[in-house]
């Protein structure tokens, strides 16, 4: 379980060839290797992936994760290459602050950036904010609600506006600096996880209609 609050930006160091429907990736991170164990869950750019190997490196650690067929089909992981930067979040522990919203790391699909607008408020010392408009697959559009929560590339965000299969989010200067959002451009694809409550509410509505 995660919150969508990014705690590090890692970098893909290597992508080992596929073994059947499995792809292994090595990620460099600033995390302390002493705090990582085999089998740990780390949200990497949104998807929850399992650590299958790790070790120390200068400035932090490296860790290996395997991406299976479902992950490669539903997310952008299959497109990652050496040098790709990814938002990272460690799984929650009992007593941790729930700063974003409840995130499972189970990506529903891929959203595409269709517009980016820089917003500058006078001489704002923290820099400009940015508004992104994204297009989602039609099947996921009903789960996106104005003022609701979404997780995009592992980042917990609030939906500003919705128009059919498009919605917008506003990214503050801090988030642009400490996540991969500062690199994002029109045409980029992002891993989307809809709000857990919206998913269950829709399932309940379907069950009632069927009954």
At 92 the pLDDT is 73
Distance set, CA 10 to CA 29, 41, 118, 140, 146 (Å): 5, 15, 25, 28, 31
- pLDDT for 60-87, tens place per residue? 999 999 999 999 999 999 999 999 999 9
What is the distance, to the nearest Å, from the Cα of residue 4 to the centroid of all Cα atoms in its chain? Answer: 7
- pLDDT for 129-185, tens place per residue? 999 999 999 999 999 999 999 999 999 999 999 999 999 999 999 999 999 999 999
Q: Average pLDDT, stretch 23-49?
A: 96
Pick 124 or 66 by higher pLDDT: 66
In the chain, % of residues over pLDDT 70? 87
At 197 the pLDDT is 75
- The pLDDT-based confidence of 211 (bands split at 50, 70, 90) is low
What whole-number distance in Å separates Cα of residue 170 and Cα of residue 148? Answer: 13
At 204 the pLDDT is 67
């Amino acid at each position: 379980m995660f919150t969508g609050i990014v705690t590090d930006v890692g970098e893909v160091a290597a992508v080992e060839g596929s073994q059947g429907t499995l792809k292994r990736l090595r990620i460099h991170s600033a995390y302390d290797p002493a705090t990582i164990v085999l089998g740990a869950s780390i949200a990497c750019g949104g998807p929850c992936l399992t650590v299958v190997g790790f070790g120390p490196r200068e400035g932090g650690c490296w860790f290996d994760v395997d991406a299976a067929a479902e992950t490669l089909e539903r997310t952008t992981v299959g497109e990652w290459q050496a040098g790709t930067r990814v938002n990272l979040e460690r799984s929650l522990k009992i007593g941790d602050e729930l700063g974003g919203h409840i995130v499972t790391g189970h990506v529903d699909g891929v959203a595409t950036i269709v517009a980016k607008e820089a917003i500058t408020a006078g001489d704002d010392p923290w820099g400009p904010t940015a508004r992104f408009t994204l297009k989602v697959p039609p099947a996921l559009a009903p789960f996106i609600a104005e003022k609701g929560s979404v997780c995009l590339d592992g980042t917990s965000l609030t939906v500003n506006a919705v128009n059919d299969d498009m919605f917008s989010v506003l990214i503050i200067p801090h988030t642009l600096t400490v996540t991969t959002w500062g690199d994002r451009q029109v045409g980029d694809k992002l891993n989307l996880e809809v709000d857990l409550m919206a998913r269950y509410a829709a399932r309940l509505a379907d069950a009632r209609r069927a009954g």
